Amino acid sequence: MEKLPEFPFPADHSLRPSPLLADARAGGAPVRVRLGYGDPAWLVTRYEDARTVLSSPAFGRDHERAGIPADRIAGMTPADPTSRTLLSEDPPDHTRLRRFVYRTFTPRRVEALRPGTERIAGRLLDAMVGSGAPADLVEGFGLPLPIQVICDLLGVPVADRARFTGWADGLLSTDDRPLAEIGADIDEMNGYLADLAATRVEHPTEDLIGSLVRERVEGDRLTEEEVSNLVRAILIAGFETTASQVPNFVYLLLEGGDYARIVADPGLVPTAVEELLRCVPLIAQGSLTRFVLEEVEVGGVMLRPGDQVLVELAAANRDTVAFPASDTMDIAREANPHIAFGHGLHRCLGASLARMELQVALSALVARLPGLRLAVPPGEVPWHADRFVRRPKELLVTW
């Protein structure tokens, strides 16, 4: 068996990339690595190479189209959490499905959600402050904010929202869970979503699920399974991005002293969010696997059909060619063409929503809790080591 470096590379800090990623990027060419599951893959670390892989039609997300069995997909989880969703489709199906939901996530429509999101953030902080310090920012603010926003958008009953959190956590675990168990979770979630969709047929609503059920695009209608799979993709992308990054961002701002800068100048919030997105990739390491569909050269390496590729966003977003002083977090950085939300065809559909929620969360915190600080030393913050998406298990804060 070919001796390859194991990926993810070891890192000494939950929010800082492994030095081995910088070494790989300095080498220029993609690096062959072995992951916890599936076949080996090529690891891409340079910014321009990453943009090429994420946007070129020579790469796809549909493993069946690439002739790769599901049990050979290179990944950090035993099964792709996005399987059978918009995130695992290629054109023409991807194009057709994306059109159904795109206009829900336009910047203009998302901006209309900002006042409601601000009210949710205010209520959550009222409750957290009312319970007294120290408080867990993950459970008290980071998790409930995006789940309330996305469930309001979808039209999920309040009483069922805890189930959604559990499903999302299970699907994004990197533990060695049996594939049958993961499949059962997906089927249970899809069954629940199908029931919600069915009620919209008899009782139409203006929420996103109601829109997907009734809306036609050029005479086309979504099937029941497609509605369920689209909603599952939206939930995973729309919930996890903010739920994980709120505590991640706050930890890094408090640890480095930049939180006080934003308290003094709240106008820094937009650039701070973009810089934090650049510096703190959502996925622990790597990205969703791409499959080579036709022979293509990347970074001097000829990739062939059937090869698998991971784009390392953390390395690409710290490429000095694209970002001067790339290892320095500058919350006032203006030119910031990061690819935290991906690039090209599969760029995150909910990027505008996540960006708005992160801005609201940070603005609400610095306005309400200007004296916020960690209640434990930074080195004692516990981190999830068994999740596809990084975040602390808890983040105890005081004020």
Decide which of 84 and 67 is more confident: 67
pLDDT at 266 over 90: yes
Separation between Cα atoms, residue 127 and residue 135, nearest integer Å: 10
Quote the pLDDT of residue 44.
97
Max mean pLDDT among 120-134, 156-170, 173-187 falls in 120-134
pLDDT at 179 over 70: no
Domain contains 10: no
- pLDDT band, very low/low/confident/very high, at 218 (cuts 50, 70, 90): low
Domain contains 5: no
Quote the pLDDT of residue 388.
65
At residue 182, φ and ψ (nearest 5 deg) are -65, -45
Range of the domain at 258: 19-398
Q: Which helix (H) or strand (E) holds 228?
A: helix 224-256
Quote the pLDDT of residue 123.
97
Domain contains 83: yes
The mean pLDDT of the chain is 87
Domain contains 12: no
DSSP one-letter string for 7-34: SSPP-SBTTB--HHHHHHHHH-S-EEEB
Which of these ranges, 48-52, 110-114, 268-272, 295-299, has the smallest mean pLDDT? 110-114
Separation between Cα atoms, residue 197 and residue 81, nearest integer Å: 22
Decide which of 350 and 289 is more confident: 289
Quote the pLDDT of residue 390.
81
Among the listed residues 349, 398, 364, the one whose alpha carbon sits nearest the alpha carbon of residue 262? 364
Quote the pLDDT of residue 261.
98
Q: Could you tell me what percent of the chain has a pLDDT over 70?
A: 91
> Reduced to 3 states, what is the DSSP secondary structure of residue 43?
strand
Domain contains 280: yes
CATH code: domain of residue 327 = 1.10.630.10
Separation between Cα atoms, residue 52 and residue 34, nearest integer Å: 22
Decide which of 312 and 349 is more confident: 312
- pLDDT band, very low/low/confident/very high, at 162 (cuts 50, 70, 90): confident
Quote the pLDDT of residue 187.
82
Which of these ranges, 154-158, 283-287, 378-382, has the smallest mean pLDDT? 283-287
Q: What is the mean pLDDT of residues 279-296?
A: 84
Exposure on the CB side of residue 258, measured as CA atoms within 13 A: 19
Quote the pLDDT of residue 173.
61
- pLDDT band, very low/low/confident/very high, at 366 (cuts 50, 70, 90): very high
Separation between Cα atoms, residue 241 and residue 363, nearest integer Å: 17
Domain contains 14: no
pLDDT at 242 over 60: yes
pTM: 0.90
Domain contains 13: no
Among the listed residues 9, 5, 51, the one whose alpha carbon sits nearest the alpha carbon of residue 285? 9
Among the listed residues 380, 253, 279, the one whose alpha carbon sits nearest the alpha carbon of residue 338? 279
> Reduced to 3 states, what is the DSSP secondary structure of residue 387?
strand
Domain contains 11: no
Quote the pLDDT of residue 252.
95
pLDDT at 203 over 80: yes
Quote the pLDDT of residue 9.
86
Domain total for the chain? 1
Residue 342 CA to its chain's centroid (Å): 10
Decide which of 11 and 324 is more confident: 324
For 9-57, the pLDDT digits (tens) are 887 666 888 889 999 999 999 999 998 889 999 999 999 999 999 999 9
pLDDT at 153 over 60: yes
Q: Do 79 and 176 meet the contact criterion of CB atoms below 8 Å apart?
A: no
